Amino acid sequence: MSIAIMTSGGDCAGMNPAIKYFVEHILQKNLTPYLIYDGLEGLIDNKIKKATLNDVNPIIHLGGTVIGSSRSKRFFEYEYRKKAYENLQKLGIDKVIVLGGDGSFRAMDVFYRDFGIKFIGIPATIDNDIYGTEYCLGVDTALNIIRSSIDSIRDTASSFRRAFVVETMGRESGYLALISAITSGAEICVIPEMPYDLETKKTEIKKDVDEGKRYVLAVVAEGTQKTQEIYDFFKDDMKLDTRVTTLGHIQRGGNPTVFDRLMASNFIKHSIDRIFQDDAHGEVIIYKKSSFDFLTIDYIASHTYKISDELIGLYKLDYCQKC
């Protein structure tokens, strides 16, 4: 039997360790592993190659994905899905592991309904916005990159008594910004999921600055589109020398952390075990309360991801302690 793996949508650290573990686990089962290059587009264009250990031995420490990724409008047209199915059929592949986000999973669900290709989706997105799972592959590395960047910004900010506005990625999710604000001690956190009060913050920050605080930090989620507003608040209302740093795509890259590598192995092992069970069809593996489970695409699609009240409570607690 043959089974393939692909990465789809946005890349993230942890994908390469997952690819390596996939090939190792499949070979240990005396099965044939295949790599699908360039995501859904590669599936259509038959960029599918048999994998060996030599293909994956040197990749565990690399960020991104060595097999490439893509987003594909073509895949949502039946004729191209049929072409992708025929490519898999020629190689005897009837199972696929997919690392990606909800868009990739929905595409593969349509593919399964058309042609019966079983798949397991592994949540791999720094946005951490897949319903049902507390953790997506790549999040820990992204958070550590943000932490390192903010620590460096704090050094220069304190040297010149400046305010810094740091914009993080995350699409419509404020997860990266919230966790980074909590763990960096930011005075202001602006995310879609939580209101903020600049007037109250103005009094608090002015008191801190008057008492000798040499820098002020705000973390803003890109989905709020409030970076300019917070910059204007610091510069015009607070009369602070202010700079903006947009971290951008450096948050997606970088050397995968130990936790992301370990979780990649866990996700792969449980996904492979599951996909060979008779009642497995098209599902997504999730990690919740320190254990692994599987949810259907329909169930995930019928719910909306939101940041837990506990995490928002941590920030509000920290805020209250500063007041």
Give the pLDDT confidence score for residue 267 in this predicted structure: 98
Residue range 207-222: mean pLDDT, rounded: 91
Give the pLDDT confidence score for residue 318 in this predicted structure: 54
Q: Please give the span between the terminal C-alpha atoms of the chain, in angstroms, as a whole number.
A: 62
What percent of the chain is predicted at pLDDT more than 70? 98
Residue 2, CA distances (Å) to 14, 16, 56, 90, 250 in order: 23, 20, 17, 11, 35
Give the position of tokens 């500063």.
322
Instruction: Round the average pLDDT of the chain to a whole number and report it.
Output: 93
Which residues have C-beta within 8 Å of that of residue 225, sequence separation ≥ 6? none
- Gyration radius of the chain's alpha carbons: 22
Is 45 an annotated catalytic residue?
A: no
Q: What are 111-139's pLDDT values in tens digits?
A: 999 999 999 999 999 999 999 999 999 99
Does 79 score more than 80 pLDDT?
Answer: yes
Residue range 138-153: mean pLDDT, rounded: 96
Strand order, beta sheet including 188-190: 188-190, 216-221, 162-168, 241-246
Q: What pairing do the DSSP bridges indicate for beta strands 2-7 and 93-100?
A: parallel
- Which member of 38, 94, 127, 129 is catalytic? 127
Rounded to two decimals, the pTM is: 0.93
Ordered by where they begin, the domains of the chain are 2-138+259-301 (3.40.50.450), 139-250+309-322 (3.40.50.460)
Where does the pLDDT of residue 317 fall: very low under 50, low under 70, confident under 90, or very high at 90 and above? low
